[in-house]
Amino acid sequence: MKAYDTIFLDRDGTLNPDPGYIASLRDFTFFDFALPALQKLKDNRFCIVTNQSGVSRGIIEQNELNKIHHYVQTAFKDHGLDLLDIFVCNDHPDHATERRKPGTGMFF
């Protein structure tokens, strides 16, 4: 299988179900297939890029988002996956910068 320098992943709807805003760690769960599927690509590095406007909307506390992402980082490590970082854009869609996907700011 071809190895890439880095594979960029979205979070919600890709790694985990997306029921709307996930406001706490107790509401976060990986898809059953997500980590095993990524292990098939374990010779690659990964980055997660995710819009989390729930923070700017007052729906998600930043410390809860940090807990979720710490859990994600730990799960990747426990499955032997090289997660370089999780890049987050908390911009509200009405006041979005180029960082908010589909903008390219988080990529650069």
Catalytic annotation, residues: 10, 12
Strands (E), the chain: 6-9, 45-51, 82-89
3-state SS, residue 5: coil
* CA within 13 Å, CB half, 65: 20
- Is residue 52 within 8 Å of 60, Cβ to Cβ? yes
Q: How many Cβ atoms sit within 10 Å of the Cβ of residue 35?
A: 16
- Is residue 28 within 8 Å of 11, Cβ to Cβ? no
